[in-house]
Amino acid sequence: MLARAAQDNIRTWRFTKHEPTSFVTKFTFDLQPDCDSTNENGDVALKLPAEVIISVPRKSWECDPYYGLDLSEPLRVFLTSCEVDGVPLPCEQVSIELNSGDLKARPEIIDQKGKKAFIIPKEFRSAKTFGVVVQTPKGSFSLPELHGSFLKGKWRIVIDHKPFQEENRYMTKGISCIGFIHFQWSEPERLASSPCE
């Protein structure tokens, strides 16, 4: 998978005048188990011409602050953060309503070992699709027809008003408020957004 990156790197090498020869260079890609928010680009150790070692820490968004939490039954969603206009909002101030067909439920946000979470009601655990309505003191939004696999893992809930945060501007044509949920445990991760009121 990384052969092309190694070939592209070798093409950047420049040599001084020398007798023609050949050699084998081993590229080692070392993905570190820990995060390092101060050095997300990693380090390169050159032991030329025989070896190049590229060590890269996990990206901060890959590090799981919920490692070790019990994710067995009852099925839960952990709220990694709740934000309004780039400012953290206590997740206890967020109201979530789940709906699927005629089913509706407002799960209570609880504390799970210092993390905010809510338990998925039993009647929703086999839902193929669901909708969610999010209400905060600063606005509300709804997302219909989400895939049932998103009813687990980690959610990041955000509401943003004009002028928008830089990373949200691409989603905001013609609206003055946007709400979204970042489903952080899906494969791949997903972002679902909707205008908010």
Concatenated DSSP letters of 97-140:
EEEETTEEE-PPEEEETTEEEEEPPGGGTT-SEEEEEEEETTEE
Query: Tokens at residue 163, please?
Result: 């002028």
Closest CA to 109 of 94, 121, 122, 124: 94
Q: Please state the domain extents for the chain.
A: 3-58, 76-195
CB atoms within 10 A of CB 50: 10
**Which one-letter amino acid corresponds to residue 93?**
Q
pLDDT score for 75: 82
pLDDT score for 144: 93
CB-based contacts of 163, cutoff 8 Å, min separation 6 = none
| Edge-to-edge strands, sheet with 103-105 | 103-105, 95-100, 129-136, 139-147
Tens digit of pLDDT per residue, the chain (197 long)?
Answer: 678 888 888 888 888 888 888 888 898 988 877 766 666 677 888 888 889 898 887 765 556 555 555 556 678 899 999 999 989 999 999 999 999 999 999 999 998 878 899 999 989 988 899 999 999 999 999 999 998 888 888 899 999 998 887 666 666 777 889 999 998 875 567 889 999 98
pTM of this prediction exceeds 0.85: no
pLDDT score for 61: 52
According to DSSP H, which parts of the chain are helical? Answer: 3-10
Gap between the Cα atoms of 151 and 164, Å rounded: 28
Gap between the Cα atoms of 34 and 85, Å rounded: 30
pLDDT score for 188: 64
